[in-house]
Amino acid sequence: MTKTRPPQKNFWERWHWIWSALYYLSLIVPLTMVWMDGDLVGVERPWAVGLVLLSCGWHWFWTAQLPKLLTDIDEWSLRERPLLMFIYLVGAILIWSQILAFHPLFNIHLAGFFSQFFLLLPILWAIVATTLLTLTQIVLNAYFAGEAIAWQSGTVWGPLLGIIGASILGFWISGISEESGRRQELVEELRRTQANLAESERSAGILAERQRLAHEIHDTLAQGFIGIIMHLEAAQSLPAEQAQQHVQQAEQMARENLQQARYLVEDLHPKRLQEASLPDAIMTTVQQWREQSKVVAHVTVTGEERPLPANTEHTLLRATQEALANIHKHAQANEVTITLSYMDDLVMLDVQDDGVGLNGTTSAWQGGFGLTAMRERIEQLGGSLLVESEDNEGTVVVVSIPVIGNR
């Protein structure tokens, strides 16, 4: 089951704790400065402290506590809830406008609002809100000072230049954030595509394996049973002496069918490879075949033996079994030599007999696992199958499979 990855937060959301800290500091720092300087006297002190605490509590409630109370929305849902976001921002601005009456140093809190605007609003709306709030600050400062607005003074141009700087920085950060978001979407799309491709390949592999097994069952067990039935039916209509020959042939075919059935079971669950290495499994297979066929057989292993991928070892063992089965049925051989060679980037299996050969045809390979099915399986692993034969001089079957990087 594929786990759903949570959406990646943008720059403003990932660093939300910095913006909250800036919001609090832009209130606490000027409060501390005016308190220590003695600029607040009498009832101004508790009122100023109370309004600062109210502003900090207002921010904490809306950005940290409310999302926990509203379980249907996540931590940063204020950006998606315009009404709640409007109430939060307007309330924070109104509280700040009252704090600003105590001392001009509280203008520092304007920086805390800038980050909130860029966090919660689209970039253009954030710039508009920053501009309006800055102009409001200029008007309020002139009002509380009882003076007319002097547009040529630094108290006016300073905040206006701050708007320009904040807007440029906000545009730059938002652009990087959007580009990062697009890249994240591409990465997620790539992951989904890879997962779908892997699932398609797995399904195709299962279908191909089912088709291969269906072909093998048809070419081995089904054909064998047909032959057995034909011999037994022929025996029913013949005298006992002649019928005995058909019964013996049916018995031989039944034994061969049993061996093919064992091969198919071994193909599905290669227990022999689970209990021993590939060379040992091949030697065990050859020993059992030698006892059954009464043909001399040798196994030679060259190169540095090493573990191979399971499907590679399985294919090589299956190719050995099929080659030996065909030699027993068709080759009339007296001696068989099996060579397993480990090379740096290749593993080769060579099965050679001194039998009658294929007589210019590969029809002898069409039964059982079959030349075509064997070649298909080997080619799926990037390997190749070569069959060479001379009349009355035997047959050589060579299987080679690359194993680069599988040391």
CA atoms within 13 A on the CB side of 166: 26
Confidence at 407, pLDDT banded by 50, 70, 90? very low
List, for residues 361-377, the tens digit of each pLDDT value.
554 454 445 677 778 88
pTM here is 0.43
pLDDT band at residue 396 under the 50/70/90 scheme? very high
Assign 145 a pLDDT band (cuts: 50, 70, 90). Answer: low
Mean pLDDT of 5-18: 60
Mean pLDDT of 308-322: 86
pLDDT of residue 406: 45
Segments of the chain assigned to CATH 3.30.565.10 = 276-407
| Average pLDDT over the chain, rounded to an integer | 78
- Average pLDDT for 116-124: 76
Q: What is the pLDDT of residue 341?
A: 94
Query: Which comes out higher in pLDDT, residue 339 or 60?
Result: 339
Helices (H) and strands (E) in the chain, counts: 14, 5
β-pairing verdict for 296-302 and 335-342: parallel
Q: Is the pLDDT of residue 342 over 90?
A: yes
- State the fold for domain 276-407: Heat Shock Protein 90 (3.30.565)
pLDDT at 336: 94
CA 359 to chain centre: 51
pLDDT (tens digit per residue) in 43-94: 788 888 899 899 899 988 888 777 666 655 444 456 667 788 888 888 888 8
Written as six digits, the tokens of 8 are 């990646």
What is residue 381's predicted lDDT score, i.e. its pLDDT? 86
Top mean pLDDT of 101-110, 170-179, 284-293 is at 284-293
Integer Cα distance of 329 and 73 in angstroms? 74
pLDDT band at residue 6 using 50, 70 and 90 as cut-offs:
very low
More confident residue, 126 or 270: 126
pLDDT band (50, 70, 90) for residue 106: confident
- Mean pLDDT within 376-403: 88
More confident residue, 328 or 7: 328
pLDDT for the residue numbered 296: 92
* Sequence-separated (6 or more) residues with CB below 8 Å from residue 36: none
pLDDT of 338: 95
**Most confident by average pLDDT, 200-209, 254-263, 378-387:** 378-387
What mean pLDDT comes out for the span 371-395?
84
2-to-64, 183, 194, 196, 203 alpha-carbon distances in Å: 31, 21, 12, 11, 16
**Averaged pLDDT for residues 112-116:** 79
Q: Please tell me the distance from the alpha carbon of residue 14 to that of residue 18, in angstroms, as a whole number.
A: 9
Distances (CA, A) of 400 to 184, 319, 379, 380, 390: 43, 11, 10, 12, 21
pLDDT of residue 366: 47
| Dihedral angle, C-alpha 255, 261, 266, 268, nearest 10 ° | 180
> Between 335 and 362, where is the model more confident?
335
Mean pLDDT, residues 333-345:
92
Residue 109 has pLDDT above 50, yes or no: yes
pLDDT digit string (tens) for 210-260?
776 776 676 667 767 877 888 888 888 888 777 888 888 888 888 877 877
The band of 398, judged by pLDDT with boundaries at 50, 70 and 90, is very high
Q: Poorest-confidence range of 19-33, 75-89, 280-294, 359-373?
A: 359-373
- DSSP lists the bridge partners of residue 349 as 340, 399
